[in-house]
Structure formats: structure tokens, C-alpha cells
């Protein structure tokens, strides 16, 4: 049980680091880094997937590292897609 909680922290840390490193911070502090409900669902889905896959392919530490890397990539990609969608909807002034 403690391993599952630690795995969730790894996934949340990786997802958040990926979202921030994708360029989610705008100049002059005009950023909105608050997680949305969709972010929470994605992190929860990553956690469930990693708990189900973990015993089959690798040990605890190796699978935790893989989960951290996958969560980082998912956060990076999802934040880029969200930002691109938001920039496409902005009207020129």
C-alpha cells in the first residue's frame, strides 16, 4: 500500500514537472499553472495503469522510474496541446 502511494507521488511530480518544463510559464508572471480536472484524471489514469503494469514487467524501483518518465512526457505533451489550442482561439487585437 505504501508503494502505491509513493508511486502516485512519483507520477504527480513527473506530470507537474513535464507541464512546467513545456513552457507553461509565461513572461511577467502571467501564467496559469493551476491543474484542471482533466489533469487530475490523466494523473489518476497514469497511476492506475502503472499499478496494473508494474508487477508484470519490472521491479518496484525500475517501474517507478519508468512511471516518472512517462508522467513527465504526458505532462509535457498535454500542456503543449492545451497551450496550442488556447493560442489558436485568441483573437488578434
Tally the domains of the chain: 1
* CA nearest neighbour of 20 among 7, 6, 34: 34
Instruction: Give the pLDDT score at 21.
Output: 85
pTM of the model: 0.75
Virtual CA dihedral for 68, 12, 78, 85, nearest 10 degrees?
-160
In a domain, 27, yes or no: no
In a domain, 29, yes or no: no
Q: What is the pLDDT of residues 5-48, one digit of tens each?
A: 888 888 888 988 888 888 765 555 555 666 778 888 888 888 88
Q: Which range marks the domain in which residue 62 is found?
A: 2-22+34-87
In a domain, 92, yes or no: no
Q: What is the DSSP letter of 89?
A: T
SS3 content of the chain, % helix, strand, coil (to 5): 80, 0, 20
Amino acid at each position: 500500500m505504501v508503494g502505491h502511494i509513493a508511486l502516485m507521488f512519483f507520477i504527480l511530480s513527473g506530470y507537474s514537472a513535464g507541464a512546467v518544463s513545456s513552457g507553461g510559464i509565461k513572461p511577467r508572471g502571467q501564467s496559469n499553472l493551476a491543474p484542471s480536472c482533466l489533469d487530475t484524471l490523466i494523473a489518476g489514469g497514469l497511476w492506475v495503469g502503472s499499478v496494473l503494469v508494474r508487477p508484470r514487467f519490472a521491479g518496484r524501483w525500475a517501474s517507478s522510474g519508468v512511471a516518472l518518465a512517462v508522467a513527465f512526457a504526458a505532462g509535457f505533451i498535454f500542456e503543449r496541446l492545451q497551450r496550442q489550442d488556447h493560442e489558436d482561439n485568441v483573437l488578434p487585437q
